[in-house]
């Protein structure tokens, strides 16, 4: 490896660790169980240890969880994975899967943005994902790449609109302005995907929530 690239890689790893550990402290102070892992592989192993075989696991729309291979790993362990990202599902089957996601023993998702003081910012088109974050009788697990961390709520909202949403809209093949421009113009398109905003200031009452900060760029 190029010596400068190698040196910079080590510097970034240390920077990510410092940032991740700082955010973990903020999250713990707000009622979450939080952890920092340098890699997604290490985080996935911890999650596998946490979830018993035979559990049902709900996975909403999250590229991060899928990039980590968590669904396959949990299925291999004997868990039932409930998710609606199956193109073969009929509209009625998809609706049922959305409900099953929310009612699973564990609900695993990522976040569009997370501030350094431990505030989650998410914007949905359908609302199922933010609903599962805001309330549930199950255990909630967030997996968050270091790229999702922002200084404050204002920058977090801008990140959702300008960094997370355009590639998501492209992935979904939606005809909206941000897929052509690469940034948000606060459109009023019938296909607009920014419709329901949730800001979690603190861990909601009566629920066990785990947050895994990962020192890698994951998801959008």
How do residues 115-156 score in pLDDT, each as one tens digit? 999 999 999 999 999 999 999 999 999 999 999 999 999 999
Give 161: exposed, middle or buried? Use CB within 10 Å, 0-12, 13-18, 19+: middle
Among 4-8, 58-62, 119-123, which stretch is predicted with the lowest mean pLDDT? Answer: 4-8
Confidence of residue 5 (pLDDT cuts 50, 70, 90): confident
Quick one: average pLDDT of 41-55?
Answer: 97
Domains and CATH numbers, the chain: 3-214 (3.40.50.10420)
How do residues 164-173 score in pLDDT, each as one tens digit? 999 999 999 9
Q: What's the confidence (pLDDT) of residue 3?
A: 81
How do residues 18-36 score in pLDDT, each as one tens digit? 999 999 999 999 999 999 9
Write the CB contacts of 36 (distance below 8 Å, at least 6 apart in sequence).
Answer: 17, 20, 21, 23, 24, 213, 214, 215
For the chain, give the mean pLDDT.
96
How do residues 65-117 score in pLDDT, each as one tens digit? 999 999 999 999 999 999 998 888 899 999 999 999 999 999 999 999 999 99
Q: What's the confidence (pLDDT) of residue 95?
A: 94
* Whole-number Å distance between alpha carbons of 177 and 107: 32
Confidence of residue 2 (pLDDT cuts 50, 70, 90): confident
Name the pTM for this structure.
Answer: 0.95
* Whole-number Å distance between alpha carbons of 120 and 24: 13
Write the CB contacts of 166 (distance below 8 Å, at least 6 apart in sequence).
Answer: 178, 179, 181, 182, 183, 184
Q: What's the confidence (pLDDT) of residue 50?
A: 97
CA distance readout (Å), 58 to 39, 98, 141 = 23, 9, 10
């Amino acid at each position: 490896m190029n010596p400068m690239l190698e040196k910079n890689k080590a510097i970034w790893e240390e920077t990510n660790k410092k940032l991740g550990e700082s955010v973990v402290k903020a999250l713990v102070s707000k009622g979450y169980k939080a952890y920092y892992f340098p890699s997604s592989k290490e985080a996935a192993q911890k999650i596998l240890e946490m979830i018993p075989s035979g559990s049902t696991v709900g996975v909403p729309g999250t590229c991060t969880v899928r990039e980590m291979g968590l669904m396959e790993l949990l299925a291999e362990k004997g868990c039932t994975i409930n998710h609606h990202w199956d193109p073969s599902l009929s509209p009625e089957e998809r609706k049922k899967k959305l409900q099953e996601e929310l009612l699973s023993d564990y609900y695993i998702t990522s976040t569009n943005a997370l501030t350094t003081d431990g505030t989650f910012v998410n914007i949905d088109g359908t609302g199922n994902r933010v609903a599962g974050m805001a309330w549930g009788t199950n255990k909630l697990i967030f997996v968050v790449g270091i790229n999702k961390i922002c200084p404050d709520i204002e920058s977090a909202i801008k990140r959702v609109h300008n960094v997370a949403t355009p590639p998501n809209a492209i992935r979904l093949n939606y005809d909206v302005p941000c897929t052509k421009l690469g940034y948000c113009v606060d459109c009023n398109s019938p296909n607009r995907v920014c419709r329901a905003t949730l800001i979690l200031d603190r861990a909601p009452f009566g629920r066990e929530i785990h947050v895994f900060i990962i020192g890698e760029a994951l998801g959008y």
